[in-house]
Structure 1
Amino acid sequence: MLILLDTCRVDALREVAPEYEFIPSVESILSTGGASAEWLARTFDEQHRDEIADTAFLSAQNHVQQILDTNLPERDSDKPLPFKALRFMPSVDLEDVGKVEYIFRYEPVGEEGPYGHPEGSTPPRYVTDRGIQVGRREEYDRLILQYHQPHTPWFSTALEEDRDLKYHERDWWNYYMETGDVDTIWDAYMSDLRYVLDDIELLLRNIDAETVAISSDHGEAFGEYGILGHTLGSLHPKVRKVPWVETTATDEGSYEPSIDEPSSERVPREKLDEQLKALGYR
């Protein structure tokens, strides 16, 4: 099982590692991309078609359909050149993946479900629940779970305090440009990292996997070398170097998930565009 934490930095995971028994040590590897879409295009490639055919990929990131679904109508006029180039990479088609679930459909941005915040993104519990169910009920050689956290918007503290998101939690780029306050930004980012790791702790006690890797599709730059965030093709060390943790999981049967599989219908392009815009990708 591979667990992906979107935008997770090596130093961030090392900072919280002593708080979690399932993180014995944090190594690092180089990601195949500087952003989620690039990671997808380079990871789900023709070279690994056989392995991909027996892989279940459950993602809270909506790039999976945008990159791998060749039946999705293209509208390249509003895409940057590097993004257009991803469509020409030798990636497999969506139909070649053993199983794909759009976890982000459980709680679209702007809707408040049982676990989330109306200004937040897909909460980790949806990914955890579906990961446990697929792990218990279905037979795949590999299971990839892609959580959205600790990617912005950072909503875990606002959820706990039952309030709206603050400026730095929903729009940290502009907050940073106006204030230069990295400490407040880092605290919010780390809060969401702990938020998702708490759920992963639950996951690892309720699924059987002899080998578990915890990593990220890419990291995040918080002003180092004058760079903010992450971009396609980025070679920034805080973006391309990602954590790598090896652990294991044993199903103790202590938790029964309640989230069922969403509709398998493809998400309309308009809905994808709305989510990308809400999450700051457009």
Structure 2
Amino acid sequence: MNRSQRRLPDIGGFLRETATTVRREGVAGLSVPARAFYHKLLQQGSRITPPGRSIYEKDWDVLVVLDACRYDLFAAAVSSPDTDFAFVDRGSLAATRSVESATRPWMRRTFGPGVEGVEQTHYVVGSPWSSLQLDESWFASLDPVWQDAWDDDHGTLLPETVTDRALAASREVDFDAGERLLVHYMQPHCPFIDSPDIATPKAADGFTDAAERDVWTRLQAGEVSLDEVRDGYRANLDLALVEVERLLHGIDSERVIITSDHGNATGEYGLYGHPESMPFDCLREVPWFETTAIDTGERPSSGRVRSDPTSAEPTDDDIETRLRALGYR
């Protein structure tokens, strides 16, 4: 067969068929290879959209990261008449574009030995990705709270635990010398603490059980409704905001920022959760809330009952299973 007789792959037909399937059935309707191709195709949009802004491009003394918090979710929470937090009353909200759409690459693009400001940062971090992406030597101090305080009953790291550790760390921060405090809560990231019926808490040794699937997988499969997920997502944020209020009642600072590492997709473009390197606003537009912290001398602890924290140093298997609990595996 000569070259003119060879049939070339019908790329145009494949793309049209893929687009039709996604519109009709969502990404779940694609074959595994087609789904991977579709994600790669969407990721190319990051080449032509704004790259996002690093947290170190602005001045701050205390920065709070609410993991996986969409801008519109945060805006609705702080503007609600039911929200009564002092830090909200004295703050102002804007939207910013994150440098990434998932925690792992966000950490990779935000921190490093050559990034100005990192070595002055005391980082209290709740995400298990810290063990794979961060080096303690980069920071003034690094406290991976999840390593010894993971709550197996709830299948996550509770926000009050992060607040307790952040308040302790704040006593070691020399703000006058230019040091900074970075506090990374796991909420509103799933699992949804008060909605175990839609986001099942998982024990450390049960995250690979197929019956206990990530909430975004369940939403995509139609096992839970979008309204249920939105309610659980918002409730998780509210739990975190209670703890942010407690944190900011234990520190004095004129320059406090509340933001997020990335958002979440709830079906936009056939996407669910937070796949990496996506360009879309649902995943990259996050809050940038400027406020202040006033030490009132009152630091009441949370009334939530916690399970016994993990005492042993986590193994590689522990890290993998905790990442599964958060929907990353």
Aligned 1:111-260 pairs, distance under 5 A: 118-139=153-174, 141-155=179-193, 157-158=194-195, 165-168=196-199, 171-179=214-222, 181-255=225-299
| CA distance in structure 2 between the partners assigned to 1:97 and 1:62 by the alignment | 17
Partner secondary structure for residue 221 of structure 2: helix
Which residue of 63, 70, 90 corresponds with 1:2?
A: 63
- 1:23-79 CA-partner distances (Å, limit 9, x unpaired): 233211111111111111111134425x211210110101112012xxxxxxxxxxx
Cα distance change on mapping 1:278 and 1:172 into 2, 3 Å? closer
Corresponding position of 1:61:
127
Aligned 1:266-281 pairs, distance under 5 A: 267-281=314-328
| CA distance in structure 2 between the partners assigned to 1:42 and 1:175 by the alignment | 30
Structure 1 residue 152: deviation in Å? 0.4
Give the TM-score normalised by structure 2. Answer: 0.67
- 1:110-160 CA-partner distances (Å, limit 9, x unpaired): 2xxxxxxx13310111111111111124425111000000000001x25xx
Q: Give the root-mean-square deviation of aligned CA atoms.
A: 2.4
Q: Is the 8 A contact 1:169 1:185 kept in 2?
A: no
| CA distance in structure 1 between the partners assigned to 2:121 and 2:295 by the alignment | 20
Corresponding position of 1:26:
93
| CA distance in structure 1 between the partners assigned to 2:315 and 2:242 by the alignment | 33
**Which structure has the higher relative contact order (CA within 8 Å, separation 6+)?**
1
Partner secondary structure for residue 218 of structure 1: coil
Aligned positions, number: 240
The amino acid across from 2:71 in the alignment is: V
Q: Is the 8 A contact 1:132 1:257 kept in 2?
A: no
**Within the alignment, does 1:99 sit opposite 2:141 as a pair?**
yes
Corresponding position of 2:104:
37
Query: Which region of structure 1 is more displaced relative to structure 2, 179-188 or 206-215?
Result: 179-188
Identity of aligned residues (%): 31
Structure 1 residue 266: deviation in Å? 7.0
| CA distance in structure 1 between the partners assigned to 2:72 and 2:230 by the alignment | 11
Query: Which region of structure 1 is more displaced relative to structure 2, 266-275 or 9-18?
Result: 266-275
Cα distance change on mapping 1:181 and 1:256 into 2, 3 Å? closer
| CA distance in structure 2 between the partners assigned to 1:6 and 1:224 by the alignment | 19
Query: Which region of structure 1 is more displaced relative to structure 2, 14-23 or 95-104?
Result: 14-23
Unaligned runs of 5+ residues in structure 2 are: 1-61, 202-213, 303-308
Give the TM-score normalised by structure 1. Answer: 0.78
Which residue of 12, 18, 31 corresponds with 2:73?
A: 12
Max radius of gyration: which structure? 2
